[in-house]
Every structure is written in structure tokens, then in C-alpha cells.
Amino acid sequence: MIDIHAHILPGVDDGAQTLAESMKLLEQAVKEGITDIIATPHAYNPHFDVPQSIVLEKVELLNAEIKKQNLPINIHSGQEIRVQDSTIEKLASGEALTLADSKYVLLELPTANIPAYTVQIIQGILNLDKVPIIAHPERNRAIAEKPSRLLKLINHGALAQITAGSLAGHFGRNIQKQSLQLVDANLVHTYGSDVHHAKTRPFLFDAGLRYLEKHKRLDAVDIFLENNARIVENIEVIILEPKELEKAKWWRLFA
């Protein structure tokens, strides 16, 4: 299994702070059956901006330590890129990293809103023959209030990544419910842990999958894992037609 969103590089952002902590996280990942991880530290975020050179250096460091400890896991380079005016320019120049050197780009929206230029950024990325993936849309307040906002981004060509912890209930019951509804509406396409810390923000990779299996969403499990593999292989992902959003169910969550 492949995790496409993880903050495991030591000492670069709000994820693992030391090499020892990174290795503990990787040991946990192996126990959960994860074989590959795309390291996605924050880039162009107001709080953290990890440049390409540091990402590549830390990925090399981790892979060397993995080899020393003989762990059956591999780390790939990437970034969680905060959407901004210069996103297209940074991707075009190669300054910003794609996921595992593929055409797929992990985009982070602000927590509370969707910037007005987001559709323009999506279209610009597509014009570069790259594919934007919206990170954890279920935790964006504007999307939670009106999920058709995510549908609009999907209709313009973006993909979306659901977080394991959201499905596992780590962020509360409301986010867990709306995460399942996004899955049911075919508005998410990939799956990541967004792991930060072993205790406060753990992988929960297997727990999220078990939640989907418990609720008979076996097809979603298969598609998410297949698409994660396809991202690393840099081939086309599986995309299902979005379904009609049942607004009444959503608004009950926020009543």
C-alpha cells in the first residue's frame, strides 16, 4: 500500500522533528502494511515553506537510514503546496515538487475558504500537463458548509484526497460523516494519512480503510489504493462520475 500524503521528513515542518521520530513513524507504517510513502512537507504555507533542495536532501537521508535498518519501505519526494498566485509559475519552473516525480500535484487550500483564483490555478496546472489533487477537502470549512464547492473544483479537472484520520474519526464525528458522504458522491479519488506525529496525528491508514470496509464501501477502498499506486507509477487514475449531492444530509450535520 502507498501513502501519498505524509509529514515524515525530520525537522522541516510541523511533522516529525527528529530522525529518530521519523524512523518510529516508518516502523508504524510498516506495521500498517505501507510499502511506499510520498513525503509531502508544507510548501508556500504561511507557517512552513520547505524548499525543494531540503525535501530532496531529507528524502535521501531517510532512505539511507531505512536501508541501514533494513525496513521494507521506500520514501518518495513531494510537497503539499499551498495554493497561491505564483503556484503555476513555481510548478512550470520546477521549483515546486510534484508527487514522486509524477504529473500529480498535491494542493493545500486554506482551512477556512477557497481562494477566488483556485479554478484559475487548477486550469493553469492542467495546461502544464499536470493534475492537481486537493488535499483533505473534508477539513476545509467552506467545503463543509457547501460541498458543491468541491464539486466545482472536480468539474474543472481537479482530483481530491481524503484523509485516513478523517474516516477513522480522529477529527470528530461530523468530519467522519461528511468524509463518507464525499466518498459516496465520488468526490474523492485518493487516500493519504497526513501523518504528523505517532501519538497526536498518527497514520490511522488501516483504521480509515477498515471504516470504509465496515460501511460496505469496498469499491472505494480498491479504487483509492489503486489510484495511489497509479500516482507513483505516473499513469492515469480511475475517476468515477460524481453523484448528485444530497444536501439535506449535509445540512443536518451543521444544524
Helix (H) or strand (E) holding 220: helix 218-233
Give backbone dihedrals phi and psi of 122, rounded to 5 degrees, phi first: -60, -50
Domain spans, the chain:
2-253
Cα distance between residue 100 and residue 74, in whole Å: 11
Q: Which residues contact 113 (CB under 8 A, 6 or more apart)?
A: 140, 141, 142
pLDDT at 198: 87
Fold for 2-253, please state it.
TIM Barrel (3.20.20)
**Helix or strand or coil: residue 127?**
helix
Digits of tens for pLDDT over the chain (255 positions)?
999 999 999 999 999 999 999 999 999 999 999 999 999 999 999 999 999 999 999 999 999 999 999 999 999 999 999 999 999 999 999 999 999 999 999 999 999 999 999 999 999 999 999 999 999 999 999 999 999 999 999 999 999 999 999 999 999 999 999 999 999 999 999 999 999 998 889 999 999 999 999 999 999 999 999 999 999 999 999 999 998 665 434 434 433
Rounded to 10°, the helix 218-233/205-214 angle is 140
Outline where DSSP puts E strands in the chain. Answer: 2-6, 36-39, 42-43, 74-76, 80-82, 104-108, 131-135, 159-163, 190-192
Question: Which pTM value belongs to this model?
Answer: 0.93
pLDDT at 245: 65
